[in-house]
Amino acid sequence: TVNIDDIEDIRHGHESEGLKKYANSVPAGHCFSIIFKDPKKRNLDLIASSEVEAQHWVTGLNKVIKNSDSMNKLQKLEHWISICFRKTDKNRDNKMDFEELKKFLKNMNIEVDDTYAKELFKECDRSKSDFLESEEVEEFYKRLTKREEIDTIFNTYAKQNGNMSRDNLLNFIKNEQKEVVGREYVESLIEKYELNETAKNQNLMTQDGFLMYLLSSEGNIFNPAWAKVCQDMSQPLSHYYISSSHNTYLLEDQLKGPSSTEAYIKALSKGCRCVELDCWDGPDGEPVIYHGYTFTSKILFKDVIQTVKANAFKASPYPVILSLENHCSLEQQTVMAQHMKNILGDMLLTEPIDGITAEFPSPEELKGKILIKGKKLKSLDDNNLMEQDEVSDEDEAAEVEDEAVEEEKKNKKESSKLKLSKELSDLVVYVKSVHFYGFEHAKEEQAFFEMSSFGESKAFKLAKESGSDFVIYNTRQLSRIYPAGRRTDSSNYNPVEMWNIGSQIVALNFQTYGKEMDLYQGKFQQNGYSGYILKPSFLQDSQSTFDPNLQKEGEWLKPKTLHVMVISAQQLPKRNQNKTSSIADPLVTVEIHGLECDSTQKQTQYIKNNGFNPSWNERFQFNIDVPELALIRFAVEDYDSHSRNDLIGQYTLPFASLQLGYRHIHLLSKKGDQYPSATLFVHIMIMNQ
């Protein structure tokens, strides 16, 4: 059995590693693959008896997925409840007795005492048959899903015979949601979300329509205007944060996890614009990619380049950077260059844009282009030798494979010079890897296109000791930050501090879930998931005096007071879906991530045995000095008095993209996927200090 919500994609043909490897002799038209969202779950590769049959499956599955995705929130709620009902109704008689009712409630993550459950059962059992059926189940459903907080808000503004008129709704949106809109906008909401045709024709909104509006993108806490590309994309590349992945080829840990082209597809589909390729000599003259000197599996370099070509610009049209970790021989470096030129063709940037070499081009000018980040020959001799001090920091003893490389060099007493293929060197245009000798040296001696990479320990140390210098450096040159080699489990560091000093390429392990990736996904959802976010102006200005370690006056200081009221949650998923008795005890943590002076968190009380419709009504206040750098994370956890709380769901967004008033937060799973119907209901207010 496959859950439609778990499917990420359906691919027709030899479009998975399994089919490419084992079904090459089968006609591509007979093959298709079901790709799952969870990278640890094996893709389902299938072969049909004919091309027509395969096409039927692909078309049919895509239609089912599209229908599921296009359901409104009310339909998703009804669908979820019907699934819980089917789990409970073991004998398939479409009826519920009292014992089945109690199991039904537990399946929906709510535990009520027998007295209340019995009372509810009797009230709905109008036929006195000791079963709930048809209309009685519907009555029970209405009682169950009634939301008193929505009743109160709606009744405050519904002045038209228990409905909201166009003007009532306009007053609500202006007074509570703090939006400056006109009657036309309000009419469009009624047209879009009102379910009752009679009310719609009279320009009225019923309570069901009002709830639909609050659950929609317009009622979301994340401003929908930020869900499309809305920033200036014509500035130099160094003025943007760039979504970047570390060890992109890995699906799991970096000691023994599998390498896969699928990992590149997943990263690129999330808007990642800088992917890493660790390149080593492979058999038959073909370079391979894997985590050197470990037990990770190997994939062909040319297969990765083909995958990049097919997927680079599906999620975003803006440039992709291939960050090469080059450990190959001269011969196989040349093969790498040939593969990139032959496969990528016109996508590959091989010359400066319009011949301009004085400053970075913009993401707009580089649309549809793939850039190579790597080493470049300063001067060429007959042996293609490059001075060792020209290598990037990634090739120093900072990561696991590089420590092994250094050890092997000592043992072999190798030359202090590294061979570099001219063909590969020529493909590096705007992102040349160089060693970092200090901020003053970079300012005086390095060109804008010469960039350095920093292991997290060195980067955090420099950020603490020379924050202002690091900020200035990042206004002109690119910097890349990567996780420490000791993170053999592919865990991540907190990226926020690196964004605070303006670093553009803050690389994380996309395959590892956790708070760090929550922050990453939350930040990069703005600007249409394009993978490029314009840095605040004080992180673009080469004369900036901003230092993230010092609280001093400047354009960045725009103190705000954020008021958050955590009201309620709806349909929280169970921690253990297979265990009826595992009912959540939910609590909510509101976290601020930004400058150290702004970073804090506050937590509600926990609600015992209710993951279906818990209610808190707790208020919090946060003072934020530099809101342009702040992210807000809402985390719903299952309280546990004996061990660490389990995450139920979370949602992270930039402070600047918050919508005010009564807002729903559509919760994401640990893996970053949206739950069909789990929401948090809050009220947001922001005041100038």
The conformation of residue 152, written as its DSSP 8-state character, comes to H
Radius of gyration for the alpha carbons in the chain, expressed in angstroms and rounded = 28
* Residue 588, phi then psi, degrees to nearest 5: -125, 130
- Alpha carbon distance 630, 622 (integer Å): 12
Same domain assignment for residues 93 and 14: no
Contacts of 580 (CB under 8 A, 6+ apart): 103, 106, 107
Whether residue 98 sits in one domain with residue 244: no
Pick the last residue of a domain from 190, 219, 248.
219
- The residue among 46, 57, 59, 39 whose CA lies nearest residue 15 is 46
What 3-state DSSP class applies to 21?
A: helix
- One domain, residues 659 and 527: no
CA 284 to CA 281: how far, in whole Å?
Answer: 9
Separation between Cα atoms, residue 670 and residue 654, nearest integer Å: 19
280 and 139 inside one domain: no
Q: Is residue 441 part of a domain?
A: yes
Type of residue found at 672: G
- Clarify whether residues 392 and 245 are in a common domain: yes
Sequence ranges of the binding site for Ca(2+): 247, 276, 278, 325, 583, 585, 609, 638-640
Which range of residues forms the domain containing residue 186?
Answer: 148-219
The DSSP line for 356-416 is --SS---TTTTTT-EEEEE---SS--TT-EEEGGGS-GGGSTTSHHHHHHHHHHHHHT--S
The last residue of one of the domains, among 163, 190, 219, is 219
Residues serving a catalytic function are 246, 291
Residues of the chain with pLDDT under 50: 380-382, 387-393, 395-403, 405-406, 409, 411-416
Here the CATH number for the domain that contains residue 177 is 1.10.238.10
H/E segment holding residue 687: strand 674-688
pLDDT tens, position by position, 466-517: 999 999 999 999 999 999 988 888 899 999 999 999 999 999 999 999 999 9
Assess whether 507 and 441 both reside in one domain: yes
Same domain, 243 and 352: yes
Phi, psi dihedral angles at 506 (to 5 degrees): -95, 100
Q: Are 237 and 535 in contact (CB under 8 A)?
A: no
376, 425 in Cβ contact below 8 A? yes
**Amino acid letter at 671?**
K
Q: How far apart are CA 526 and CA 229, in angstroms?
A: 8
- Residue 555 belongs to a domain: no
Q: Are 82 and 187 found together in one domain?
A: no
Give the residue ranges of the annotated binding site for substrate: 373, 375, 453, 480
For 91-110, the pLDDT digits (tens) are 777 788 888 877 877 777 77
Span 204-249, pLDDT tens digits: 999 989 999 999 999 999 999 999 999 999 999 999 999 999 999 9
**437 part of a folded domain:** yes
Residue 42 is classified by DSSP as P
The string of DSSP letters for 558-605 reads --EEEEEEEEEEE-PPPSSTT-TT----EEEEEEEESSTTT-EEEEPP
CATH number for the domain spanning 598: value is: 2.60.40.150
SS3 labels along 622-683:
EEECCHHHCEEEEEEEECCCCCCCEEEEEEEEEHHHECCEEEEEEEECCCCCEEEEEEEEEE
Domain co-membership, 101 together with 250: no
Domain count, the chain: 5
Flag whether 194 is in a domain: yes
Binding residues: 247, 276, 278, 325, 373, 375, 453, 480, 583, 585, 609, 638-640
Claim to verify: residue 121 and residue 256 sit in the same structural domain:
no
**115, 145, 175 - which closes a domain:** 145
Sequence-separated (6 or more) residues with CB below 8 Å from residue 481: 453, 454, 455, 456, 459, 495, 498, 503, 505, 506, 507
Are 234 and 364 contacting, i.e. CB atoms less than 8 angstroms apart?
yes
In a domain, 544, yes or no: no
Based on the fold, state whether residues 610 and 677 are members of the same structural domain. yes
- 117 and 52, same structural domain? no
What H or E segment, with its residue span, contains residue 323? strand 320-326
Closest to 594 measured CA to CA, from 556, 633, 629: 629
Among 565, 558, 522, 559, which residue's Cα sits nearest to residue 176? 565
Query: CA-CA distance, 454 to 527, in Å (whole number)?
Result: 27
Q: Is residue 545 part of a domain?
A: no
Give the domain CATH number at 249.
3.20.20.190
The enclosing domain of 43 has a CATH number of 2.30.29.30
Q: Is residue 550 one of the residues assigned to a domain?
A: no
pLDDT at 59: 95
Residue 311 lies in a domain: yes
